[in-house]
Amino acid sequence: MDSPQHSAYRVPTKRPFLLNELRSRLPSVDDRFRALSGCGDPTEYDAIADSLYQVFLTARNLAPSRNSTDCSTHPNGPVDPESPQGWGQCLFCNSNRRAGNPRARQEVANTPLQYEVPPPPYTHEALLERMRQINDISFELSYRSPDDDFAIAADLVHGAFIIARELSRPRSSSRCSRHPGAPIDPAAAGGPRCLFCAAAEHRASTVAPPQIRDRPRRTLPSRRRPGPPN
């Protein structure tokens, strides 16, 4: 009698536990969100954002690991908020490039591996659509699902958390549909308006190619060999 052939595939450690945790947390968050009538109060979205962040932590542990800069030298370093085109996202490496460090200029530009941040406007309807996508993909996940499916789930949950976090901010008098809780810039062109929108327009109009300074190298003094004794 032939012995049964077993598959070489092994379920990753803790995946069954984390997948059950993901499916147990989602229904309560979804029910709390659907109980809101229309656009609720910011304090109601605050509790939803906290719950979605806990769901994101579980989805992140199920997905392959990432870092914010994808820099081999500074994998967990700060992100450059004004990274020039063609450069990486690591603030330390970009600062060295701006200072003219020749070794830093020879580095290959990195590709950011941040979790998804959906574009504004952040509305109740956008969060509703995102929750539908999360429920659909969580229903399809299994122990043998590829890592890409878990990565997509982590991106979707992170995007839902971002939307809920923005909806939880206090409503400002700027009445900006893209940034509901943004502060007001009283000195903006055209009168007081959303600070984030005014800053984005200012950066877009003043962007210039980075100036790289060549740092002069110092020549070391030559060492004289001692002569023969007299």
Q: Are residues 90 and 120 in the same domain?
A: no
In a domain, 4, yes or no: no
CA 16 to the chain's CA centroid: 26
> Can you tell me whether residue 79 is helix, strand or coil?
strand
Q: Are residues 47 and 87 in the same domain?
A: no
Domain hosting residue 183, numbered range:
174-207
For residue 1, the model assigns a pLDDT of 43
Q: What is the pTM of this model?
A: 0.63
Cis amide bond preceding 228, omega within 30: no
Answer yes or no: are the C-beta atoms of 167 and 122 closer than 8 Å: yes
Q: Are residues 158 and 82 in the same domain?
A: no
In a domain, 228, yes or no: no
In a domain, 219, yes or no: no
What the block records as the tokens of 111 is 């590709």
At 193, give phi and psi (nearest 5°): -155, 180
Q: Are residues 137 and 48 in the same domain?
A: yes
Q: Are residues 129 and 155 in the same domain?
A: yes
In a domain, 218, yes or no: no
Q: Are residues 56 and 131 in the same domain?
A: yes
For residue 153, the model assigns a pLDDT of 94
For residue 108, the model assigns a pLDDT of 53
Instruction: Count how many domains the chain has.
Output: 3
Helices (H), 35-111: 42-62, 91-98, 102-105
Q: Are residues 53 and 164 in the same domain?
A: yes
Q: Are residues 72 and 151 in the same domain?
A: no
> Can you tell me whether residue 214 is helix, strand or coil?
coil
User: Closest Cα partner for 165 from 133, 130, 202?
Assistant: 130
In a domain, 82, yes or no: yes
Measured from the Cβ of residue 166, the count of other Cβ atoms closer than 10 Å reads 23
Q: Are residues 124 and 155 in the same domain?
A: yes
In a domain, 202, yes or no: yes
Q: Are residues 61 and 127 in the same domain?
A: yes
In a domain, 212, yes or no: no
Measured from the Cβ of residue 143, the count of other Cβ atoms closer than 10 Å reads 10
Per-position pLDDT tens, the chain of length 230: 455 555 566 767 788 898 999 999 999 998 888 888 766 778 888 999 999 999 999 999 998 877 667 677 777 778 787 777 777 778 888 888 888 776 665 555 545 467 888 888 888 899 999 999 999 998 899 888 888 899 999 999 999 999 999 888 876 666 676 776 677 887 777 777 888 888 888 777 765 666 666 666 666 666 666 666 65
Helix (H) or strand (E) holding 193: strand 193-194
Q: Are residues 47 and 82 in the same domain?
A: no
Question: From residue 165, how far is each of 3, 47, 170, 172 by CA, in Å?
Answer: 56, 9, 10, 15
Helix (H) or strand (E) holding 194: strand 193-194
Measured from the Cβ of residue 113, the count of other Cβ atoms closer than 10 Å reads 15
Q: Are residues 60 and 123 in the same domain?
A: yes
Burial (CB count <10 Å: 0-12, 13-18, 19+), residue 94:
buried
In a domain, 215, yes or no: no
Question: From residue 53, how far is each of 15, 57, 131, 163 by CA, in Å?
Answer: 19, 6, 13, 11
